[in-house]
């Protein structure tokens, strides 16, 4: 069973002007596709070929982990974005954010600070902890909160340069402004539930 590159959940130009079709052609069509291809090469002919992506991530390390986790992280990230989205969350997501951070404005400021200062190729995540509270977690390289059984990933932003360099060059804060205009709060709400 070969892993496949999942289709984007929106048209390639649907996130403009915040994320260009050119960025998505490289980010999804080249980077994400390469992780899928490398993962398939690593599992082909092994007992891992029949395992789920999540099982591989939770039981591997090195190149196998890196490629599997990047396939999962990117797929999750695409679902965190949507055209005509963004704004502030409502309902249970808004309540959880307000309970954990004080207000959406305080959450957004903390998220931006953590994301801007997350060194190098990295990810910033909103996670739900076992007690139901929310937290912001930074990971480096391919690391993912999927390997931590005590948290549930709700939202992520990709902070590898290939996520923003075409559109924003080295201005990560400007990329984050575009990200907030695209956050798919419906996806976050499904993860929270």
Helix (H, G, I), strand (E, B) or coil at 183: strand
Please give the backbone phi and psi of residue 138, each rounded to the nearest 5 degrees, phi first: -100, 140
With CA atoms as reference, report the closest residue to 77 among 153, 189, 190. Answer: 153
74 a known binding residue? yes
CA distance 125 to 156: 4
With CA atoms as reference, report the closest residue to 156 among 80, 88, 90. Answer: 80
CA distance 89 to 155: 12
CB neighbourhood size of 138 (10 A): 15
27 a known binding residue? yes
28 a known binding residue? no
Q: Where are the beta strands (DSSP E) in the chain?
A: 122-129, 134-140, 151-158
Residue 162 buriedness (CB in 10 A; 0-12 / 13-18 / 19+): middle
162 a known binding residue? yes
With CA atoms as reference, report the closest residue to 3 among 32, 24, 23, 28. Answer: 32
Residue ranges for the known binding site are 27, 74, 158, 162
Residue ranges for the known binding site for Mn(2+) are 27, 74, 158, 162
């Amino acid at each position: 069973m070969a892993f496949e590159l999942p289709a984007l959940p929106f048209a390639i130009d649907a996130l403009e002007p915040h994320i260009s079709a050119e960025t998505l052609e490289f980010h999804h069509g080249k980077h994400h596709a390469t992780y899928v291809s490398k993962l398939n090469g690593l599992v082909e002919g092994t007992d891992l070929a029949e395992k789920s992506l999540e099982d591989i991530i939770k039981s591997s390390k090195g190149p196998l982990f890196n490629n599997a986790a990047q396939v999962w992280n990117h797929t999750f990230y695409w679902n965190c974005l949507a055209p005509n989205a963004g704004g502030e969350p409502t309902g249970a997501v808004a309540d959880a954010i307000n309970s954990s951070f004080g207000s959406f404005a305080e959450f957004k400021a903390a998220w931006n600070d953590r994301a801007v200062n997350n060194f190098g190729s990295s990810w910033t995540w909103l996670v739900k902890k076992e007690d139901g509270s929310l937290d912001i977690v930074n990971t480096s390289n391919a690391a993912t909160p999927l390997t931590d059984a005590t948290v549930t990933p709700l939202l992520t932003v990709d902070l590898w340069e290939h996520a923003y360099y075409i559109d924003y060059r080295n201005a990560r804060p400007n990329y984050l402004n575009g990200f907030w205009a695209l956050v798919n709060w419906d996806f976050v709400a499904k993860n929270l539930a």
